[in-house]
Amino acid sequence: MTDATTTAPPPMSAHAAKAHERRWWILAVLAISQLMVILDGTIVNIALPTAQRALAFSNSDRQWIVTAYSLAFGSLLLLGGRVSDYIGRKNALIIGLVGFAGASAFGAAAMNFTMLVTARTIQGAFGALLAPAVLALLTTTFTDPDERGRAFAIYGAVAGAGGALGLLLGGVLTSYASWRWTLLVNLVFAAVTVAGAVALMVHDRGVDHDPLDWPGVFTGTAGLFALVYGFSHAETTSWTDVYTLGSFVVAAALLGTFMAVQRRTRFPLLPLRVLMDRNRGGALAAMLVAGSGMFGVFLFLTYYLQVTLGFSAVMTGLAFLPMVAGITVTAQLSNVSLLPKFGPRPLIPLGMLIAAASLWWLTRLGIHSSYLTDILVPLITMGLGVGLIFAPSFNTATLGVAAHDAGVASALVNTSQQIGGSIGTALLNTLAASAAASYLVGRAPTKLNAALASVHSYTAAFGYSAWIFVGGALLTGLLLRSGAPDMTGEASAVGH
C-alpha cells in the first residue's frame, strides 16, 4: 500500500504561498512593465519630428534615435536573460525598471542629439534586462494550466496592442504636452511597477549560478549587434552597400561561432536543449514573422492616415484602437479556450492567414478612401489575427521550460520579435521606396502624382507584409506539432 503522503504535492513554502495569493496583482505589475517596453517602440517615433526641430539634428541623425535603442535592446537580450537567471528575476526586474526610468529622464532632459541618442542606447540596454525578466516571472508565477492561459492571454494582448497604444499616447503627449513627455511618462510606469514589485514579489536568489559563458557572451552579443546593424544600415543606405553586406557577413560568422561554442561549452549562454522542442521553435518563428509583418501595419498605415487622409497624431492613435479590441478578444479566446484543446498548430497559422487577408484588403486603399468604409474592418480583422498569433506564441515558447532556463527562453522570444522588427523595418521601407520610385517613372512630377506614388508605396508594403504572413503560416504549420500540448510539468532536459 502506498502512503497517501508520498503522492501528495509538496506543501508550498510560506514565501511561495504568499506569492501565489498575490499572483494576479503580480500579473498587473508584469503587464505594465511589458507595456512600457513595447510602448517605447512607437511612442518616441511619433515625437521624433518635434524633437528634431527642438534639438536641431539632421534627418540622418534622426534615424539613430530609433536605431540606438534597437541595437542595444536586440544585441543584449540573451545576456539579459542569463543575468536575470543569475541575480534573480525580481532583482532583474527592479534594476531594469530603475535603469530604464533613469535613461528616460536623461533623454527627456536632452539638450542635444548626443544626449538623446545616449539615453536611447541606455534605455535599450536596461530593456534587454527587463523584458526577459518579465516573461520569466510570468512563466514561473503561473503554473496552473487554466490560470496560465488567462495570464498569457493578457500578456499577449499587451504585447500585440502595445505598439498601437504607443501611437495614441505619443500623439496625445506630443500634441498637448511636449515631446519630452514621451520619455518622462516612463517614470510614471516605472514608479508604479517598482512599488508593486517590492510590495508583492518574494525575493528570489537566482536559479542559475553557473560561471558565465564569456565566449558565448561575446560572439552572441556581437553577432546580434552586427545583424541588427546590418538591417538598420540597409534601411538608410542600400542592401548592396559595403557596410550593410559587411555587417551581415560578420553577423553570420559570429553567430555561427556562437552556436559552435554553445555545443561545446559546459555552461552555455544558450542551452541548446531550449531550442530542441518543435513547438517552441514554431512559436519563435511566429514571433519573428509577426515582428516583421506588423511593421507594415503600424508604420505605413500611420503614414497613410496622417499624410493622405490628414489625420492628427491623436486621431491616428485612436484609429488603431479597434485593432487593439480585436487583439484582446482573440488573445483571451485562443489562450483560455482553444490552445489547451487544439494546441498551437491550427491557431497560429490561422492567425497568420487572417492577418494576411486583412493586409490584402488594405492594398485597395487610394487617395480618396475612407477610414470607416475602407480601413476599420480590415483593422479589426488584423487584430483578430494578431491575437491568435501573439498570445499562443508567448505561451507555447515558454511552456515546459525548466525554471533555470526560463530567463533564456524568455530572452529568445523577445529576441525573435526584435530581430523580426528589424527585418521588417529595413525590408519594407526599401520595398516601399522602390515602389514609389517605379510609380513615378514616366509621370509628370505633379503634387497629384506624388500623392499617388506615396499611396502606391504604402499599398505595396501592405502586399509584401501579407506575403510575409502567408510564408509564416506555411512555416509555422510545418514546425508546430498537432494536438493539445502538455500544459503541466517541465520539459525534459533534452526537450521533446
Q: What is the mean pLDDT of residues 127-133?
A: 92
- Say which DSSP state 40 is in: T
Residue 178 CA: distances (Å) to CA of 49, 145, 191, 465: 12, 44, 20, 33
pLDDT tens digit string along 416-455? 988 888 888 888 888 998 999 999 988 888 999 999 999 9
Please choose, from the candidates 428, 415, 495, the residue with its C-alpha nearest in 3D space to the C-alpha of residue 468.
428
Is pLDDT of 496 > 50? no
Is pLDDT of 13 > 70? no
% of the chain exceeding 70 in pLDDT: 93
Predicted pLDDT of residue 304: 93
Least trusted range by pLDDT, from 76-90, 93-107, 251-265, 464-478: 76-90
Q: What is the dihedral of CA 448, 454, 459, 461, to 10 degrees?
A: 170
pLDDT tens digit string along 459-486? 999 999 999 999 999 999 999 988 877 6
* Fold type of domain 13-212+269-479: Growth Hormone; Chain: A; (1.20.1250)
The one-letter amino acid code at 357 reads A
Residue 54 CA: distances (Å) to CA of 48, 111, 183: 10, 9, 15
Please choose, from the candidates 50, 53, 295, the residue with its C-alpha nearest in 3D space to the C-alpha of residue 181.
50
**What are the cell numbers at 134?**
518579465
Q: Where are the domains of the chain?
A: 13-212+269-479, 213-268
Whether the CB-CB separation of 490 and 400 falls below 8 Å is answered with yes
Predicted pLDDT of residue 381: 96
| Residue 218 burial by Cβ neighbours in a 10 Å radius (0-12, 13-18, 19+) | middle
Name the E strands within 293-352.
none
Whether the CB-CB separation of 101 and 191 falls below 8 Å is answered with yes
Predicted pLDDT of residue 219: 95
Predicted pLDDT of residue 5: 41
pTM score? 0.87
- Please, what is the end-to-end C-alpha distance for the chain in angstroms? 33
Is pLDDT of 19 > 90? no
| Residue 102 burial by Cβ neighbours in a 10 Å radius (0-12, 13-18, 19+) | middle
pLDDT band at 166 (very low <50, low <70, confident <90, very high): confident
Q: Considering only the C-alpha atoms of the chain, give the largest distance between any 2 of them, rounded to a whole number of Å.
A: 91
Whether the CB-CB separation of 271 and 408 falls below 8 Å is answered with yes
Q: DSSP states of 332-367 as a string?
A: HHIIIIIHHHH-HHHHHHHHHHHHHHHHHHHTT--T
Is pLDDT of 200 > 50? yes
| Residue 264 burial by Cβ neighbours in a 10 Å radius (0-12, 13-18, 19+) | exposed
Alpha carbon distance 484, 477 (integer Å) = 15
The CA R_g of the chain, rounded to the nearest whole Å, is 22
The one-letter amino acid code at 397 reads A
Is pLDDT of 276 > 90? no
